[in-house]
């Protein structure tokens, strides 16, 4: 699978971020159980098996491809390279019959392509990002830190792909023009350069293919006969000699433009994979995972049963009244069979998301809610959950996507429901939801219960429902 090592690193980093909201004891038991199962099956507990094990436990659907932007960028570079290579070669070989195509200009342009290829590779290995502002403009910089460390390498791969397309398009254009036109090559320079020194330079350039294609190796007589001057109006040179340069030009373009880009592109493809494997082995989450897999879980024989002891759950967040919402969403079938009247406004039909629903269904629910919220003056949405179930990573992802899709001023109220609809959840259950809302750092993310709605607000809602 292309970019498998990079995708493995990004998925592993994403899962480590999700595990931050889980209990350390739960993580230890889950990963230790996984290691024991692998030992019984005689397989190595590697990252791929661990990610598959976690996906199976969480029943999480497919996520968005984090490399989609880079694939599109690489395709864009390739298309731009094809167009630019064709136009560049047409400009270099422009010939109207009254002048010669200067070989010195072509060699200078080839040297420029070599310099650009080397600079692209050096910036990738050094981690330079002079184009960081462009990525910020397209909101790519907000990805995980694991992907940000690979951005210079991925950008170099896209640039080399465009450079290779540039070189191939230029070579094809050259061969086509050789067939359909009578090109006349020559060489000239303003500097006081003798024929012998120019011939030695061309011989050194043609060294890589002098035994493979002798016809593409210029001789001393050809160099001497095809030199032209700006004041020269006529020449006695055999016209056939002016076209004898095309094999040399084709090999120069192939050896010093196409092949270096091809070789550096191979390096740019392999290097991110090696860097991703190294980054995964050094990832702090992988080190912690290995510890959990290798360390047995121990139950002490302490007579004191601390199951009823609760940790410090103090938080600065407070319960807020339930807003009058345009969208009500049941998360994982919470609030069955019926919701309290303090939540439902009028004959509004609640939506269902999470639980066994697919990722596409959740996206559809977000869009349906967005249609209701867009037309409201004070948009508000209610997410009904079970109070005794801790906030999950799937819910956090759902809320993050909802905040990015819904209007910016939308108030999102999390309503944890107790087992009995007419009762308020215990304080220790509400505390975990208050901490969850507080960690989002979103002022419009609040936690409410049906019991926190004042009577005057309930009366006001009843009057509004009658007016409607």
Measure the CA–CA gap between 289 and 283, rounded to whole angstroms: 10
Residue linked to tokens 């792909």: 161
User: Which parts of 238-379 are beta strand (E)?
Assistant: 327-331, 351-353
In the sheet that holds 327-331, the strands lie side by side as 351-353, 327-331, 380-386, 411-417, 445-447
CB of 5 within 8 A of CB of 283?
no
| Topology at the third CATH level for domain 327-467 | Rossmann fold (3.40.50)
Other C-beta atoms lying within 10 Å of the C-beta of residue 38: 17
Cis peptide before 337 (omega within 30 of 0): yes
- Give the CA-trace dihedral at 32, 34, 37, 43, to 10 degrees: -110
Question: Would you write out the chain's pLDDT as a tens digit for each of its 468 residues?
Answer: 456 788 888 888 888 888 887 888 888 888 888 888 888 888 888 888 888 888 887 766 555 666 788 888 899 999 999 999 999 999 888 866 566 788 888 999 999 999 999 999 998 888 777 766 666 666 544 455 677 778 888 889 999 999 999 999 999 999 998 888 877 777 777 665 667 788 888 888 888 888 888 777 887 777 777 666 554 444 555 555 666 788 888 999 999 999 999 999 999 988 888 888 888 888 878 888 888 888 886 655 554 555 555 555 566 678 888 888 888 888 888 877 677 777 776 557 788 888 878 888 888 899 999 988 988 888 999 898 888 888 888 888 889 889 889 998 899 988 888 877 777 888 888 888 888 888 887 888 898 887 655 444 444 444 444 444
What's the residue count for the chain? 468
From the number of C-beta atoms within 10 Å of its C-beta (0-12, 13-18, 19+), residue 368 rates as middle
Locate 281 and state its tokens.
């082995």
- How far from 219 is each of 182, 199, 238, CA to CA, in Å? 21, 8, 15
- How far from 267 is each of 74, 105, 274, CA to CA, in Å? 15, 30, 10
> Containing H/E element for 174?
helix 151-180
Locate 144 and state its tokens.
């995980």
* Bridge-based pairing state of the strands 351-353 and 185-186: unpaired
How many alpha carbons fall within 13 Å on the CB side of residue 322? 28
Q: Which residues contact 117 (CB under 8 A, 6 or more apart)?
A: 160, 163, 260, 261, 264
Structural domain boundaries of the chain? 1-297, 327-467
Measure the CA–CA gap between 177 and 454, rounded to whole angstroms: 83
- Our measurement of the distance from residue 218's CA atom to the centroid of its chain's CA atoms, rounded to an integer in Å, reads 49
């Amino acid at each position: 699978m292309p970019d498998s090592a990079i995708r493995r690193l990004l998925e592993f980093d994403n899962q480590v971020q999700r595990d931050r909201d889980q209990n350390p004891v739960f993580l230890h038991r889950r990963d230790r159980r996984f290691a024991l199962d692998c030992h019984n099956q005689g397989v190595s507990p590697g990252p791929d098996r661990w990610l598959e094990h976690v996906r199976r436990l969480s029943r999480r659907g497919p996520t968005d491809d984090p490399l989609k932007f880079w694939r599109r960028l690489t395709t864009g570079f390739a298309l731009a390279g094809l167009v630019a290579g064709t136009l560049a070669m047409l400009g270099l070989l422009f010939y109207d019959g009254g002048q010669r195509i200067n070989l010195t200009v072509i060699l200078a342009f080839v040297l420029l392509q070599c310099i650009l290829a080397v600079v692209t590779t050096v910036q990738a290995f050094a981690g330079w990002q002079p184009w960081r502002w462009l990525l910020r403009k397209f909101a790519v910089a907000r990805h995980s830190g694991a992907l940000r460390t690979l951005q210079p390498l991925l950008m170099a791969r896209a640039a080399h792909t465009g450079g290779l397309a540039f070189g191939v398009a230029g070579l094809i254009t050259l061969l086509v023009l050789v067939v359909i036109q009578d090109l006349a090559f020559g060489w000239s320079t303003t500097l006081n350069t003798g024929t012998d020194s120019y011939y030695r330079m061309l011989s050194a350039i043609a060294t890589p293919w002098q035994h493979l294609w002798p016809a593409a190796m210029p001789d001393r007589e050809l160099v001497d006969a095809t030199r032209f001057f700006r004041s020269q109006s006529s020449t006695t040179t055999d016209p056939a000699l002016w076209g004898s340069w095309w094999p040399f030009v084709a090999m120069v373009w192939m050896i010093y433009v196409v092949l270096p880009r091809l070789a550096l592109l191979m390096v740019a493809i392999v290097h991110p994979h090696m860097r991703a494997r190294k980054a995964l082995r050094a990832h702090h989450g992988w080190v912690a995972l290995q510890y959990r897999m290798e360390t047995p879980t121990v139950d002490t024989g302490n007579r004191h049963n601390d199951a009823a002891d609760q940790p410090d759950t103090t938080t600065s967040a407070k319960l807020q009244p339930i807003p009058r919402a345009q969208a009500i969403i049941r998360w994982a079938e919470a609030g069955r069979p019926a919701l309290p009247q303090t939540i439902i406004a009028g004959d509004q039909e609640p939506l269902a998301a999470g639980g066994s629903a697919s990722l596409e269904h959740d996206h559809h629910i977000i869009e349906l809610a967005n249609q209701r919220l867009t037309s409201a003056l004070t948009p508000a949405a209610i997410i009904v959950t079970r109070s005794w179930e801790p906030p999950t990573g799937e819910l956090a992802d759902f809320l993050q996507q909802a905040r990015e899709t819904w209007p910016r001023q939308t108030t999102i109220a999390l309503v944890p429901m107790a087992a009995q609809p007419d009762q308020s959840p215990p304080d220790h259950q509400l505390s975990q939801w208050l901490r969850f809302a507080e960690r989002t750092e979103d002022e419009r993310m609040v936690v409410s219960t049906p019991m926190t709605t004042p009577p005057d607000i309930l009366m006001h809602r009843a009057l509004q429902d009658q007016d409607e």
